[in-house]
Amino acid sequence: MLGQALIEQERSTLNEQLAQQSALNRTRWAIEQFGDQIVLSTSFGVQSAVMLHLVTQVKPDIPVVFIDTGYLFPETYRFAEALTERLGLNLKVYQPLMTAARQEALFGKRWEQGREGLEAYGLMNKVEPMNRALSDLKAEAWISGLRRTQASTRQELNIIERQNKTLKIHPIIDWNNRDIHRYLTAHDLPYHPLWEEGYVSIGDWHSTTKLGEGMTEEETRGLKRECGLHELSGQADWQI
At position 68, the amino acid (one-letter code) is D
Nearest to 40 by CA among 67, 62, 60, 69: 62
Residue 183 identity = Y
Give Cβ neighbours of residue 93 (< 8 Å, ≥ 6 apart). 66, 68
3-state per-residue secondary structure call for 124-142: HHHHHHHHHHHHHCCCCEE
- The span from the CA of 62 to the CA of 40, in Å, is 7
Catalytic amino acids? 227
